[in-house]
Amino acid sequence: MPEKRVSRRKFGAALAATATLPANLAAQRDSPSAAGSPSEQESELTPELMAEMEARYAETVRRFGDRLSEEQRERIRRVLTRNERMLASIRDFPLGNGDTPATVLKLRDERK
């Protein structure tokens, strides 16, 4: 059976192609067609989450508004909406100050 060898040139080309892969995936993920319109995403939020998202957006625009383009403002709104949807399940979990952690550190003496 002949041994398959990869030349340095082919290896370098493959490495260069995979180096741009994360950037291409991020561009696809953040494109408006892949993410859906902001109004569709925002309709999934409850009024409380919507108010939280609007407050964060307003604060961001207040701080950086003069430096943001319209495209950047839309992207910020999409990111904030996505974050609020992800945080909704975490916020719904009942947790009090007196609750113990799910895992406890148990030390074992290996010298015994």
Residue 42 lies in a domain: yes
- Burial (0-12, 13-18, 19+ Cβ within 10 Å), 98: exposed
pLDDT tens track for 30-42: 555 444 555 555 6
Residue 85 lies in a domain: yes
Residue 73 lies in a domain: yes
What domain count does the chain have? 1
Sequence-separated (6 or more) residues with CB below 8 Å from residue 73: 61
In whole numbers, what is the pLDDT of the chain averaged over residues?
Answer: 77
The whole-number average pLDDT for the span 83-96 is 86
Residue 83 lies in a domain: yes
Q: Count of residues for the chain? A: 112
pLDDT tens track for 40-85: 556 678 888 899 999 999 999 999 988 999 999 999 999 999 999 9
Residue ranges making up the domain that contains 42: 36-90
53 φ/ψ angles, rounded to the nearest 5 degrees? -65, -45
- Paired tokens of 13: 């080309």
